[in-house]
Structure 1
Amino acid sequence: MMHKNYLRRVGGNKLLGLAATGALLLAGCGDNAEVMPQTLPDYYPLSVGSYRIYDVADTVWRDNVPTASRFQFREQVLGAPEPDAAGQPVYQVVRSRRNSAAEAWRVDSVLAVTVAPLNITEQFNNRRTVALVFPAVEGKSWSYNAFNNQDSVSAVTRFYQQIDQPFSISRNGKSYEYANTITTVNDLKTGDNNNATKLIVQRTTFALGVGPVYRVSRSFKNDCSGSQGCRFPFVRNVGQSRNQVLIESGK
């Protein structure tokens, strides 16, 4: 049963430290569209004891040969949030994995989700990234890696697409439908993501009152070892493709 708890909003007008400065810069990045008059709904709800289960389709490529696997992830909030250095709540989301519904869950990793007035960030393997920026406006852009050393705060690497739109997807013969979603995608027009040597795709759809319901990540490197340069059409010399579909959530 899909839970309907909304994440907690943090009041106050003052942001402290570097994280707050980055948040303010992120909020203004690439925003040339008209701001929605209503307050942004909660597309990433978090509460103690809540969980989401994803069906994961994963494919690893070596020398253009794919090896596919299927498994499940469970993301669960086990404890109350703790404040960070700027006073913003940080939720520890424990990710567990199992190969099938018949197996027991085994802890895989921990995801730290920080809820600030102007953005929501995720930290995984000591890398903090910006999942959402307030408000959600079609075409609004920001730096996905503003809080790590891969990009600058002013870099444009993520943007909103398909704001307040319905979304449906099928998995294992079952359909999942959501009336109100927003989607974030990486900027495929930049040479850092899409060129003759590599292809990187990142896409996440968030449903109102539910959270992330669909994640796609693809990263491929072309075969450029020959004397003629990179192969065409694109050869997946190495890479990985993974998509995650939410199949259950609750508390």
Structure 2
Amino acid sequence: MPVRFTPAFYWITSFAGWLIVGCQPPTGAPFSAGYDYFPLQPGQYRIYDVTEHRYALTSAPVTRTYQLREVTGLAYTDAAGQVAYQLHRYRRDSETAPWQPDSIWSARLVNNEAIRTENGRDFIKLMFPPGDLLTWNGNRRNGSEPDELMLRNSGQPYRVQDKEFGETVTVLAQTDSTLISKKKRIEVYARQVGLVYAEQTRLYFCTSSPDCIGKNQIDYGIQQVYSIRSFGID
């Protein structure tokens, strides 16, 4: 006599399968899920042109330019039993200078979160699937004050220097502009490439005397711009 399966059986087995694969995005995940905005492939590299402006009230602004290279290492299992990848970072002052080791960070994909560990702290950089007005707390995993992020321009083209990327997403941090400070942060991710542009501003205005309050006179601060120069797989 043939065995008949009830609808409940199919629901239970489907749910069990979801539990098995739910801890990590599956290999070859659907294109619509957007995991390829945050690719983690061993040997993949990105080189950025970086410009920094540092400000101090008692001296002229100092501008520095350099290049940063980031290479994805082999997969490993972290202390929480999750698959992660080391990010080997190198720096040089000019295109002709030799690369010097800078730092080692890491990254991983857990459920619908792209997590990047920078200097021992976890930051949720992206959420999946990406869509306009999607919001999340980028600091939820590190215990710091909430960092409210919003995703915009999902699937839109974006140009960085002489490179046109057909599909990108833009992550905006909450802009904070007051009489005493200005904070702004933007990150743009492209399919199959990852981060292609980033801009961060943290400026603090003079409040030491009535003559400078409210005049946007910079006491100290920094502005940084990362623009992708080249990328590929070694």
In structure 2, distance between residues paired with 1:89 and 1:120:
12
Q: Does 1:198 align with 2:178?
A: no
Q: Tell me the equivalent position of 2:76.
A: 82
Deviation at 1:41, TM superposition (A): 4.7
Residue 227 of structure 2 corresponds to: 245
Deviation, 1:38, is: 3.6
Instruction: Kindly indicate whether structure 1 or structure 2 has the higher relative contact order, using CA contacts under 8 Å at least 6 residues apart.
Output: 1
Aligned 1:66-81 pairs, distance under 5 A: 66-78=61-73, 80-81=74-75
Q: How many residues align?
A: 208
How much does 1:14 deviate?
5.2
Q: TM-score of the superposition, structure 1-length normalised?
A: 0.77
Contact 2:182 2:204 in 1 (8 A): yes
Change (3 A) 1:249 1:231: same
Q: Displacement of 1:135 after TM fit?
A: 1.6
- Once superposed, what is the RMSD of the aligned Cα atoms? 2.1
CA displacement at 1:233 relative to structure 2: 2.7
User: For 1:183, which of 170, 175, 184 is the aligned residue?
Assistant: 170
* Equivalent residue letter for 2:156: Q
Give runs of aligned pairs for residues 88-167 of structure 1, distance below 5 A. Answer: 88-151=82-145, 155=146, 157-167=148-158
Aligned with 2:36: secondary structure? coil
| Greater than 6 Å deviation, 4+ residue runs | none
- CA deviation vs aligned residue, 1:109-131 (integer Å, no higher than 9, x gap): 11211211210111111221110
| Structure with greater strand share of residues | 2
Q: Quick one: which amino acid aligns to residue 232 of structure 1?
A: G
In 2 relative to 1, CA 39–77 (structure 1 residues): closer, same or farther, beyond 3 Å? Answer: closer
Shift of 1:67: 0.7
Higher helix share: 2
Gaps in structure 1 of 5+ consecutive residues: 1-10, 16-36
* Structure exhibiting the larger radius of gyration computed from Cα positions: 2
Separation (CA, whole Å) in 2 of partners of 1:222 and 1:119? 35
User: Given that residues 55 and 71 in structure 1 are in contact (C-alpha distance below 8 angstroms), is that contact kept between their aligned partners in structure 2?
Assistant: yes
Counterpart contact for 1:141–1:156, Cα < 8 Å: no
